[in-house]
Amino acid sequence: MYLCVLPKKDKTLTEPAIFATETSCDCRAPHEKLTITQARRGTPVDRPVRVYADGIFDLFHSGHARALMQAKNLFPNTYLIVGVCSDELTHKYKGFTVMTELERYEALRHCRYVDEVLRDAPWTLTPEFLEKHKIDFVAHDDIPYSSAGSEDVYKHIKEAGMFVPTQRTEGISTSDIITRIVRDYDVYARRNLQRGYTAKELNVSYINEKKYRLQNQVDRMKEKVRTVEEKSKHFVYRVEEKSHDLIQKWEEKSREFIGNFLELFGPDGTWKQVFQERSGRMLSYALSPRESPCNSPPRELSPLRSPSPPSPISRWHNARPSPPASPKGATASISSMSEGDEDEK
């Protein structure tokens, strides 16, 4: 009878993946070998399919994560074990790494697709290693991996029917990232000098340190000039906008003033009508002046000049009575004239 203790419930979304010990599958019977067809059908139902993926995983990036995602989703029920090679093996067979082995272990533990991390993984997988960790399949990209005197370290895995290929992510790799840093070395050296790292920590010579600091000062000055230019452009734009508004308002006021002027002083303006009316009145006054009022005050004589004696004619005219307004008045005037004649006699 086959009995296998299931691993604990997946906690990769809330906790880091566990580190592998001798084996995480405590089987009391020989580990049943599965075919890819059986694994894809979801059998056996009493345990997950144990998939192993190994690598260096230096400068862990999205290409690594996508490969592990593919390995995790190869079968309906997959338990993904990731083997990470140590610094000693990596430096011997591949080259120097940027991250230490402890940093690389921790990076893999916090990938959501990883169930278990196997530290100090072997460079070449042996049947004894596969049996020890109860591995059903090995996942890796299908490109032959020549190393350690072998044209393809996964050749015997492929021949045993335990190899499942994954796809590489184009445009991203650890070598590509290192190439970018080496290509732009001066930029990153200046960047870290600005952030407080010493020339000794960066392995930068005294002359290069001074050169980088001078370049940083020049860049800061350029940035200040660029900022001033941007502010000046903004100020000029605002002035132009205000000037345009002022010119537009001035044109509107000018048109309004000219219109009012023409309405008042134009050929058919209000002022012409008023002038014509006043001219007509003055002309009519000149042609037919009004009579002076009867009760106008008498003209006063100058005190320096004595009044001239009235002439007999004027006295006669003054003594002459005014014509009577009625017959009775005429009778009275005749009687008064006769009385005056008698007196003179």
Angle 174-183/185-194 helices, nearest 10 degrees? 80
Give me the percent of the chain exceeding a pLDDT of 90. Answer: 38
Token reading at 265? 């002083």
Domain boundary among 269, 288, 317: 269
**Domain final residue pick, 240, 269, 298:** 269
159 and 211 fall within a common domain = no
Mean pLDDT of the chain: 80
Question: Which H or E run contains 165?
Answer: strand 163-166
Q: Is 225 exposed, middle or buried (0-12, 13-18, 19+ CB in 10 A)?
A: exposed
The reply to whether 51 falls in a domain is: yes
What is the per-residue pLDDT for 122?
Answer: 95
pLDDT exceeds cutoff 70 at 208: yes
Residue 231: pLDDT band (50, 70, 90) is confident
229 and 109 in a single domain? The answer is no
Residue matched to tokens 């790799």: 173
d(CA 265, CA 267): 7
Q: Examine the domain organization and report whether 206 and 263 are in the same domain.
A: yes
Question: Do 123 and 36 reside in the same domain of the chain?
Answer: yes
Residue 236 and residue 212 in one domain:
yes
Residue 134 has pLDDT above 80, yes or no: yes
Backbone angles phi, psi at 36, to 5 degrees: -65, -35
Mean pLDDT of 333-339: 50
Does the structure show a pLDDT above 90 at 172?
yes
Residues 125 and 188 both lie in one domain: no
Which candidate, 46, 63, 108, 102, places its Cα nearest to that of 81? 108
pLDDT of residue 316: 47
Quote the pLDDT of residue 265. 73
> Is residue 30 domain-shared with residue 86, that is, in the same domain?
yes
Shared domain check, 150 and 74 = yes
- The structure tokens listed for 241 are 């906008």
Position 162 in a domain? yes
Is residue 79 a part of any domain in this protein?
Answer: yes
5 within some domain: no
Is the pLDDT at 320 greater than 70? The verdict is: no
The yes-or-no verdict on residue 331 having pLDDT over 60 is no
The answer to whether residue 322 sits within a structural domain is no
- Of 239, 269, 299, the residue that ends a domain is 269
DSSP 263-293: HHHSTT-HHHHHHHHHHHHHHHHHHSPPPPP
Tell me the range of 82-86, 144-148, 205-209 where mean pLDDT is highest.
Answer: 82-86
> Domain containing 188: what range?
174-269
pLDDT band at 269 (very low <50, low <70, confident <90, very high): low
| Number of domains composing the chain | 2
Predicted pLDDT of residue 42? 81
Residue 107 has pLDDT above 70, yes or no: yes
* Residue 184, pLDDT above cutoff 50: yes
pLDDT score for 156:
93
Residue 180's CB is within 10 A of a number of other CB atoms, namely 12
CATH number, position 86: 3.40.50.620
Cβ atoms of 53 and 80 closer than 8 Å: yes
Q: Convert the pLDDT of each residue in 19-72 to its tens digit.
A: 887 555 655 445 678 888 888 888 777 889 999 999 999 999 999 999 999 999
Which residues, in sequence order, are CB contacts of 39 under 8 Å at separation 6+? 49, 74, 75, 136, 137
At 226 the pLDDT is: 85
- How many helices and strands (H and E) does the chain possess? 13, 6
Mean pLDDT of 292-310: 53
- What CA–CA distance (Å, rounded) separates 119 from 104? 10
- Residue 2 in this model has a pLDDT that exceeds 60: no
Per-residue pLDDT at 51: 96
pLDDT of 228 > 80? The answer is: yes
Whether residue 295 lies inside any domain: the answer is no
Of 15-24, 191-200, 206-215, 250-259, the least confident: 15-24
DSSP output for 167-223: PPPTT--HHHHHHHHHHTHHHHHHHHHHTT--HHHHT--HHHHHHHHHHHHHHHHHH
109 and 143 in a single domain? The answer is: yes
Whether the per-residue pLDDT at 282 is higher than 70: the answer is: yes
**Would residue 274 count as lying in a domain?**
no
Co-location of 46 and 179 in the same domain: no
Predicted confidence at residue 168, as pLDDT, reads 93
126: in domain: yes
Q: Are strands 137-141 and 49-55 parallel, antiparallel or unpaired?
A: parallel
The pLDDT score that the predictor gives to residue 128 is 95
* pLDDT band (50, 70, 90) for residue 293: low
Q: Tell me which residue of 182, 207, 78 sits closest to 138, measured CA to CA.
A: 78
Q: Are residues 227 and 157 in the same domain?
A: no
Q: Are 152 and 187 in the same domain?
A: no
Task: Locate 235 and state its tokens.
Answer: 């100020």
